[in-house]
């Protein structure tokens, strides 16, 4: 009993106490003894090396290992093509920003320094700077035409003086045209339009293009008569642009007083009185847009009747090629700047030149983009050396039936 009691008291004393572990030295002695054997030591070292390499590759093999990551589904936004200016934006004073960017102050260096952007070499070795950077072509000396109005060629109208045929038979289509005498070489003519809206490009076209280049002015331009007077003083014959209904009208709107395909003869007469009464000194008119209008027999007939009665020429950009009429007529063979890059414009000018050589005469037209004015100035400078004669656009007109 006493031994059992002592055992019970020892168990009671130690109840709840943590078990006592043997010293590490004693528990690890068998392992240490085994590791002292060469075969076991080599095996253990190899196992340790393999484990270390596995851990290294697992953690450090991927630069992003161990870093938090989130997967997000991304959707690319659809690419929206830039929308070009409408006819109204191009031909209104308040919305000329699309072209103003090309003609900001400083575009034309007073010293005539050339820009440093892409240069296009012309057949005579001259070059054209791209992007509308700076005008490299020089200012040309004036070859003045008689000041407008010429006596007997205008009469008061409801909105300003209107062109008329003089009692002695003189007509504005001849009196205000630049005189021309053929030298027997193939003739090439060029019309540069859209003028009067921007002072920089308008002055550049007037001063840096040869006098034989015909200039076309927007009827909405402020100070229109002043611009026409300046152009004629430099030697250019001029035209007025007539806004005509295009496909897509009214979303594509050429501006106020647009001639509509559904307009009556009276409506067209009234709008023409407003447009033609904006200034004097022009020998004819040209279209601005108008593919839908010229498809209207009634509208086109009324329009051409006004021009015949007033002795004016009509020169279109090719849109109304099959429409005879007016006092005198001509249609352009090429629009030179449908793509506004130096290379594209020069290619069109060279094609116009080739057409003139093969056919004897050719007429081109373009808008007064800075790159167009620059390319035209350089191209016309070498025409004579290449066997062509630069002619005013009026020299390309023909009387109906002739």
Contact in structure between 126 and 349 (CB atoms under 8 Å):
no
Contact in structure between 140 and 208 (CB atoms under 8 Å):
yes
CA angle (376 as vertex; 118, 123 as ends), nearest 5: 70
pLDDT value, residue 112: 33
pLDDT value, residue 58: 52
Q: pLDDT tens track of the chain, all 402 residues?
A: 443 333 334 333 433 444 455 554 545 555 455 555 665 555 655 656 665 555 444 545 554 545 455 554 555 555 444 343 443 343 333 333 333 332 223 323 333 333 333 343 344 444 444 444 456 789 999 999 999 999 999 999 999 999 999 999 999 999 999 999 999 999 999 999 999 999 999 999 999 999 999 999 999 999 999 999 999 999 999 999 999 999 999 999 999 999 999 999 999 999 999 999 999 999 999 999 999 999 999 999 999 999 999 999 999 999 998 788 789 999 999 999 999 999 999 999 999 999 999 999 999 999 999 999 999 999 999 999 999 999 999 999 987 644
Task: Show the domains of the chain with their CATH numbers.
Answer: 87-143+157-396 (3.20.20.370)
Contact in structure between 149 and 280 (CB atoms under 8 Å):
yes
**Whole-angstrom distance, CA of residue 377 vs CA of residue 165:** 34
Q: pTM here?
A: 0.70
pLDDT value, residue 322: 78
Residue at token pair 């820009």: 115
pLDDT value, residue 400: 64
Distances (CA, A) of 28 to 22, 38, 39, 47: 10, 18, 19, 19
């Amino acid at each position: 009993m006493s031994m059992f009691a002592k055992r019970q008291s020892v168990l009671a004393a130690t109840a709840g106490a943590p078990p006592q572990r043997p010293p590490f030295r004693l528990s690890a002695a068998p392992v240490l003894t085994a590791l002292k054997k060469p075969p076991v030591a080599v095996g253990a070292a190899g196992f340790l090396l393999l484990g270390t390499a596995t851990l290294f590759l697992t953690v450090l093999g991927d630069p992003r290992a161990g870093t938090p990551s989130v997967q997000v589904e991304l959707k690319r936004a659809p690419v929206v093509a830039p929308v070009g200016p409408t006819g109204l934006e191009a031909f209104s004073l308040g919305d000329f920003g699309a072209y103003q960017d090309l003609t900001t102050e400083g575009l034309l260096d007073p010293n005539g320094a050339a820009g440093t952007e892409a240069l296009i070499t012309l057949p005579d070795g001259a070059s054209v700077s791209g992007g509308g950077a700076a005008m490299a072509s020089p200012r040309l000396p004036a070859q003045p035409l008689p000041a407008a109005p010429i006596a007997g060629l205008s009469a008061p109208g409801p909105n300003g003086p209107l062109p008329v045929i003089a009692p002695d038979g003189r007509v504005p289509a001849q009196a205000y045209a630049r005189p021309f005498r053929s030298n027997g070489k193939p003739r090439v003519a060029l019309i540069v339009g859209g003028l009067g809206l921007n002072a920089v490009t308008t002055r550049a076209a007037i001063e840096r293009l040869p006098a034989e280049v015909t200039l076309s002015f927007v009827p909405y331009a402020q100070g229109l008569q002043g611009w026409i007077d300046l152009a004629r003083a430099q030697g250019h014959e001029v035209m007025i642009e007539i806004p005509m209904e295009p496909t897509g009208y009214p979303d594509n709107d050429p501006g106020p007083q647009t001639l509509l395909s559904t307009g009556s003869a009276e409506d067209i007469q009234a709008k023409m009185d407003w447009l033609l009464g904006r200034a004097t000194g022009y020998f004819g008119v040209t279209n601005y847009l108008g593919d839908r209008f010229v498809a209207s027999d009634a509208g086109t007939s009324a329009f051409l009747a006004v021009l015949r009665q007033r002795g004016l020429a009509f020169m279109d950009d090719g849109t109304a090629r099959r429409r005879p009429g007016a006092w005198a007529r001509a249609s352009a063979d090429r629009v030179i700047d449908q793509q506004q890059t130096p290379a594209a414009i020069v290619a069109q000018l060279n094609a116009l030149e080739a057409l003139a050589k093969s056919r004897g005469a050719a007429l081109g037209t373009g808008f007064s983009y800075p790159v167009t004015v620059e390319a035209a100035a350089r191209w016309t400078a070498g025409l004579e050396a290449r066997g062509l004669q630069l002619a005013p656009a009026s020299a390309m007109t023909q009387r109906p039936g002739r």
